[in-house]
Amino acid sequence: VALSAQASDNTSSASSSASGSLAFDPDAYTELTTTVTDTDGDEHDVTYHFWKAITYVADPVDEKYQSLTVSVPVVIDGTAVDASDAPILFANSVGGYMPSSVADATGVGSGGMSGGAPGGAPTGDASASAAPNANGNGNTNADGGATSSNQLLALAAGYVVVEPGARGRTLTDSAGEYYGVAPAAIVDLKAAVRYVRANKGRIPGNTDRIVSAGTSAGGALSALLGASGDSPLYDTYLEELGAADASDAIFATGAWCPITDLEHADGSYEWNWGANKLSTGSQVDQTVSKALQSQFAEYQASLKVKGLGRFGTLTARNYDEYLVRQYLEPSATTYLADLSDSDRETYLAANTFITWQNGRATFSWADFLTHVGARKKTTPAFDAFDLSAGENNLFGKGTTEARHFTAYSLRNDTTGVTGKRLDSDLPEVLRLMNPMYFLVDKPNPARTKHWWIRLGTNDSDTSHTVSANLAAAAHTLGDDVNHLYYWDQGHGANTDPGDFITWIAKVTG
């Protein structure tokens, strides 16, 4: 790749440079203003420079998706700020593994998904739509609106905000080929990181302090970006796109409700939600559910990851106790402690499964499951027997819209798929999409060492073990892990965005 040829100035480092179409133009911005309401309700006037839709690869497949925006604060509440060495928030807006574009973005936090009904909706479950994106993109979030989004708060804190688009699973070309299926989205995000790195010194911000953020499928990709930094496994894909010749490792990862570890997610889901009924009141096939649960037990035993808080090795037998002690009870405790005395009394009267004593909430796993109620997805939740899940499409290939990606669902296929083995490319594609591979199977020394992970306790888009295993795997390697669950919150919640911004300052400082 001829991208390391002479740069138009000498501000870039020797090891990474960009030229020609991949050189960031420091002067090509428009000046914008916005008012950001912080999490205390205080307003901040921010003047910032906005670079719109810059194509981040030399040989794009689709510029609509393979482009990014850059937002750099210059004046905050009347005081000039210099963001040239500030952390860089790298916030994707992927939902449902769908395409996400910033081509029409008009300012910070205004990009997003490009239509269609996202989400891994299995058989007619319209409720499994996109995350109410915790990262903004103009949608409201669980904290009450885009004014609290990560991007806006980051800007008001003086950080640089980079928002990349990425290809997604539904895109087809004129020949009917699916060009946004796995691993396209992660390759694009890596290419975007490389673009930022290659423009060190031209693009404002500290390229050694890139902090990724994303929600749901975007959270999965954010975690994967952090876990897989500089892995050579993506090189051929990146070369094909003419990605900049630079590191794609990132410093820290923020992941909200990551829908990840997909090839193990069906078993994990049944271990967690197997006894819960669907919103229709019907029970899922318990034979299937039980078979998948035993797959989870085997998988969990193979991971050999340690729980946080000095909990031992996590197994299918102790995981319920772990979730309750490490995450769920502390989550309920925080929630209840923040209520007024009378609101707490009301809540406890309506939720008698909780014991409130000495300022601490305790309860059983079984009661917690009853409290959450309906499970969102049928079984199997991710590799549907009839290929109807979004994830079946994610693992499509060529002109094939959807494929099975687990042996179990292939065996139980109801669509007439012939062949008894998974397609031979799939093991590699699954690795390229799974952060656990880079944390457990082949620990990646260039991974991010700082992890911010969040999940709503009511979120049944995937198993609670998925984010807990991600956290435990990073913790087992000695990484700095900040993981908690938001009490009574659903899919896509981000109720402590201000704390995330503070955390960035702490870990990058």
Interaction between residue 120 and ligand DHB (CB under 6 A): yes
Q: How far apart are CA 136 and CA 157, in angstroms?
A: 16
Residue 151 host element (H or E): helix 150-156
Applying the rule CB under 6 A, the residues between 309 and 348 that interact with ligand DHB are: none
- What is the closest distance, in whole angstroms, from the C-beta atom of residue 90 to ligand DHB in the complex? 18
- What is the closest distance, in whole angstroms, from the C-beta atom of residue 463 to ligand DHB in the complex? 11
Task: Considering only the stretches 41-49, 89-97, 148-156, 401-409, report the one whose residues sit in contact with ligand DHB under the rule CB under 6 A.
Answer: 89-97
Applying the rule CB under 6 A, the residues between 184 and 223 that interact with ligand DHB are: 216-217
Q: How far apart are CA 45 and CA 60, in angstroms?
A: 36
Identity of the residue, 160 or 259, whose beta carbon is nearer to ligand DHB in the bound complex: 259
- What is the closest distance, in whole angstroms, from the C-beta atom of residue 133 to ligand DHB in the complex? 8
Q: What is residue 148's DSSP assignment?
A: G
CB closest to ligand DHB, residue no: 120
Count the neighbouring beta carbons within 10 Å of the beta carbon of residue 64.
18
Identity of the residue, 99 or 390, whose beta carbon is nearer to ligand DHB in the bound complex: 390
Identity of the residue, 249 or 288, whose beta carbon is nearer to ligand DHB in the bound complex: 288
Identity of the residue, 109 or 456, whose beta carbon is nearer to ligand DHB in the bound complex: 456
Interaction between residue 168 and ligand DHB (CB under 6 A): no
Identity of the residue, 78 or 124, whose beta carbon is nearer to ligand DHB in the bound complex: 124
Interaction between residue 307 and ligand DHB (CB under 6 A): no
Identity of the residue, 165 or 307, whose beta carbon is nearer to ligand DHB in the bound complex: 165
Whether cis (ω within 30° of 0) applies to the bond prior to 183 is yes
Interaction between residue 131 and ligand DHB (CB under 6 A): yes
Task: Considering only the stretches 128-136, 149-157, 177-185, 323-331, report the one whose residues sit in contact with ligand DHB under the rule CB under 6 A.
Answer: 128-136
Interaction between residue 250 and ligand DHB (CB under 6 A): no
Identity of the residue, 160 or 292, whose beta carbon is nearer to ligand DHB in the bound complex: 292
Relative orientation angle of helices 265-273 and 286-303, to the nearest 10 degrees: 110
Q: How far apart are CA 157 and CA 153, in angstroms?
A: 6
Task: Considering only the stretches 1-9, 124-132, 164-172, 173-181, report the one whose residues sit in contact with ligand DHB under the rule CB under 6 A.
Answer: 124-132
Q: How far apart are CA 121 and CA 99, in angstroms?
A: 16
Interaction between residue 396 and ligand DHB (CB under 6 A): no
> Which of 73, 119, 158, 165 is in the footprint of ligand DHB by CB under 6 A?
119
Tokens (6 digits) for 157: 């804190």
Identity of the residue, 130 or 471, whose beta carbon is nearer to ligand DHB in the bound complex: 130
Relative orientation angle of helices 329-337 and 341-350, to the nearest 10 degrees: 140
Whether cis (ω within 30° of 0) applies to the bond prior to 122 is no
Q: How far apart are CA 306 and CA 24, in angstroms?
A: 43
Helix (H, G, I), strand (E, B) or coil at 375: strand
Burial 331-341 (b: 16+ CB within 10 A, else e): bbbebbeeeee
Angle at 311 between CA 457 and CA 276, to 5 degrees: 30
Q: What is residue 4's DSSP assignment?
A: G
Interaction between residue 150 and ligand DHB (CB under 6 A): no
Please give the backbone phi and psi of residue 284, each rounded to the nearest 5 degrees, phi first.
-75, 165
CA 433, chain centre distance (Å): 12
Q: How far apart are CA 500 and CA 159, in angstroms?
A: 13
Identity of the residue, 132 or 498, whose beta carbon is nearer to ligand DHB in the bound complex: 132
Interaction between residue 259 and ligand DHB (CB under 6 A): yes
Taking residues 11 to 50 in sequence order and writing x for each that binds ligand DHB by CB under 6 A, - otherwise, the string is ----------------------------------------
Phi-psi region of 488 (alpha: psi -120 to 50; beta: other; left: phi over 0): left
Angle at 413 between CA 410 and CA 417, to 5 degrees: 85
- What is the closest distance, in whole angstroms, from the C-beta atom of residue 115 to ligand DHB in the complex? 15
| Cβ 167 vs Cβ 184: under 8 Å | yes
Task: Considering only the stretches 70-78, 125-133, 169-177, 280-288, report the one whose residues sit in contact with ligand DHB under the rule CB under 6 A.
Answer: 125-133
- What is the closest distance, in whole angstroms, from the C-beta atom of residue 217 to ligand DHB in the complex? 4
| Cβ 46 vs Cβ 156: under 8 Å | yes
- What is the closest distance, in whole angstroms, from the C-beta atom of residue 265 to ligand DHB in the complex? 8
Interaction between residue 128 and ligand DHB (CB under 6 A): yes
- What is the closest distance, in whole angstroms, from the C-beta atom of residue 391 to ligand DHB in the complex? 6
**Spatial CA neighbour of 51 closest among 81, 74, 79:** 74
Identity of the residue, 121 or 246, whose beta carbon is nearer to ligand DHB in the bound complex: 121
> Rg of the Cα trace of the chain?
22
Please name every residue paired with 480 in a beta bridge, in sequence order, or none if there are none: 450
Identity of the residue, 119 or 242, whose beta carbon is nearer to ligand DHB in the bound complex: 119
Task: Considering only the stretches 56-64, 94-102, 195-203, 241-249, report the one whose residues sit in contact with ligand DHB under the rule CB under 6 A.
Answer: 94-102
Please give the backbone phi and psi of residue 211, each rounded to the nearest 5 degrees, phi first.
-120, 115
> Which of 87, 95, 109, 165 is in the footprint of ligand DHB by CB under 6 A?
95
> Which of 62, 188, 461, 479 is in the footprint of ligand DHB by CB under 6 A?
461
- What is the closest distance, in whole angstroms, from the C-beta atom of residue 367 to ligand DHB in the complex? 25
CA distances in angstroms from 443 to 114, 275, 448, 475, listed in the order given:
35, 34, 11, 12
Q: How far apart are CA 303 and CA 261, in angstroms?
A: 12
Judged by the rule CB under 6 A, the positions of this chain that interact with ligand DHB are: 95-97, 119-120, 128, 130-131, 216-217, 259, 390-391, 461
